[in-house]
Chain A
C-alpha cells in the first residue's frame, strides 16, 4: 500500500509523550509502568480532554461513563452450555489479581460494579466458551469480568457484545502456569452505543495468551488491553481488527509489559476506515523491564484508508530497560487504498467493487485467521463484507 506521511492523517507516528515534544512546557511522560493507578473513581481528576491519555478521544460523547453513577447490577447473558461461569462477590480474591485502573472511566466502573462475572477454564482439553451480551440497555452501566485459566488449561473465551450499551468495564485475565488461553472481544454495538473497556492480563510462567480485539460497531469504543508477561517464558500475542465507518471512533491503547525473562510478545493491529469522520486510534506501548532479559518483541499497526475525511492515529512506543534482549521492533503505516492494485485487478476483468472487496478482505484476513473458531471467523468475514457494502 502507499505509505503516507502521518501528518496527512493528523497523526504523528512514533511518539507517545514525544507527541508534542517541541512545544513549550513539554513534560516527559514517565515510564509506562509508573502511571498512577487506583480503584477509586474519586482518585482521578475530572477529564478535560487535553490530557495525553484522552486528547484523541471524543470525551464529550462518553461523559456519563467518566463522571456519572453507573448501574452495576448483574446483567443478562448467554453462554456456551457446560462453561464454568458465575457471579462472584466484590470481596473475592480473584478481583484485582490482574491489574488496577489507570484512568477515570476504568475506576468509575471498578467503583460501581455489584458483582463480577467469573469465567474459569480448568481442563487440558481445549474448550471454546462463547459469552454473548446483547441487551445491556441504554442507561450507563458498569461491568467487571474475571477470566481465569487454571494451570495447564486450554481454551478460548469469546466475549461477543452487541445491541445498545453505554458501558464502562474492566476485564481481568489471569493465565496461570503452563495454560494457553485465547480471549476474543468482539464489539458489534449499535450505532449510538459507547464503551470504555480496560483489559488487564497476567500471563504466568510458560503460559500463553492470545488476545484479540475486534471492533466493528459502536459510536465510541475505547478498549485498552494491558498485558503483563509476568512469568518466565510467557508469551503474549495481541491482535486487533477494527473497521470504522462515518462518525465512529474506535480506540485501542495497547500496553504490553515484558516483565519476566525470555518472554515473547507480538502485537499486530489492523484497521480500515471509511466515511466522513471515521476516526481510529492505536497506541502501542511496549515496555521491556529490567528483568526481561531474552525478550523477543515486535509490534505493528497498519491502517487502510478507504475514503476521504477519515483520521487514523497510530502511535507505537517502545521502552527498553535492559540491554540483554533477543530483539524488539515496531512498525506503523497508514495508507490509502492503492489505485495501482485496483487497476491491476480491474485490468483482469474484476469490477471495481469486487476489486476493493478483495483487497480489503485480504488486508484484514490476517487477523481474522488468528481467531481459531470457524463459526466466528465466518461471521467476521461476513460482517466485514457488510461494512464494505454500506
Chain B
C-alpha cells in the first residue's frame, strides 16, 4: 500500500521584506485511498503546502521531509514528482498560449507512462472524461486554459486528474469560485478518480460545502503554517458551525 508522509515540514518564501516563514512544522500522513481534508483560513499556508509538495521553485524547504513510499520527494524535480505519482490541481491554473489542450494532455500522458498512448482508445477516453465533466469537445482544440472561465479551468484540472491517474492528488481549493452545479460536477470527478484508482486525496479547502459531495476520512485544521487540530468528519461540522475563530483566538493569545 502506498503512503505519502509529510514530516515536520518547514517552508519559507523570499519577500521584499526578507525571508518569510510560512510552514512551521507540518506533519501529515496519507495512505492510498484515504481522503484528507485540510481546512484553514486564508493565508494560513495551505497553498504553500500544496506547492511545496509539487516542488514549485518559489518555495524554499528549510527542513523536514516528504516521503512517497519511503522515497524522498523533496530531492526530485517537479516532473519527477509527477512521474512518481503525485498530482496537484492548482488553485490558479496557468494559461499556456499556443499549446493545444489535446497536445498537452497527450504529451503529459506520454511523459507519465514513458510511451505514447494508443491513439484511438486515448481519444475515446479523453472524450468520455470531458463529457462526464460537461466540457465541450471544442475545448481540446483550444490552448491550455487560455480564455477559460474560472470554473472551466477547475474542470480541466479534474479532467487531468482522471486521465493522468496519479496515486496521490493535492487539490488546492478546487471548490473556490464554483457555483453549486459546477461544484457537483467537479466533486463527482474527484470521487470517480478516487474510486477508479484508489487515489489518496489531500483536499484543501476554505469552506465546508465541498465536503457535502466529497466525504473525507480525516479533517485537519490548518492555522498559521501548521496543523492545529485533527479529527474525523465531525470536525468539519464543528468548523461549519463555529468557523475558525476558536483557533485564531488561540493564536493571538499564544
Contact = CB atoms under 8 A, between A and B. Distances in A.
Interface string B111-155: 110000000000000000000000000000001100000000000
Interface in B70-109: 77-79, 81-83, 87-88, 90, 93-99, 103-104, 107-108
A344 B93 contact: yes
A205 B99 CA distance: 38
A362 B108 contact: no
Contact of B83 (A344, A345, A349, A362): A349
Given A349-B108, A350-B107, A344 B94 contact: yes
Given A343-B56, A343-B57, A343-B78, A348 B98 contact: no
Interface string B58-79: 0000000000000000000111
Interface stretch (A114-122, A206-214, A245-253, A353-361): A353-361
Interface string A314-342: 00000000000000000000000011110
Contacts of A341: 94-96
B164 interface: yes
Interface residues of A, number: 25
B174 interface: no
A362 B143 contact: yes
Q: Most chain-A CB neighbours within 10 Å: which of B81, B90, B96, B97?
A: B96
A206 to B, nearest CB: 33
B219 interface: no
Nearest to A1: B97
Interface in A68-84: none
Task: Say which size band chain B's interface belongs to.
Answer: 20 to 34
Contact of B107 (A339, A343, A354, A365): A354
Contact of B164 (A349, A351, A363, A365): A349
B160 interface: yes
Interface string A209-226: 000000000000000000
A348 B94 contact: no
Contact of B82 (A339, A346, A352, A354): A346
Contacts of A308: none
A20 interface: no
Contacts of B88: 347
B111 A348 contact: yes
B22 to A, nearest CB: 18
A362 B101 CA distance: 11
A347 B104 CA distance: 12
A358 B78 CA distance: 17
A346 B86 CA distance: 12
A194 to B, nearest CB: 31
Contacts of A339: 57
A366 interface: yes
A276 B72 CA distance: 37
Contacts of A362: 96-99, 143
B154 to A, nearest CB: 14
B221 interface: no
Given A349-B79, A362-B99, 14 more contacts: A339-B57, A343-B54, A344-B93, A344-B94, A347-B79, A348-B111, A350-B79, A350-B107, A351-B111, A358-B96, A358-B103, A359-B96, A359-B99, A362-B143
Interface of B: 54-57, 77-79, 81-83, 87-88, 90, 93-99, 103-104, 107-108, 111-112, 143-144, 160, 164
- 4 closest A-B pairs by beta carbon, nearest first, are A362-B98, A349-B82, A346-B78, A348-B108
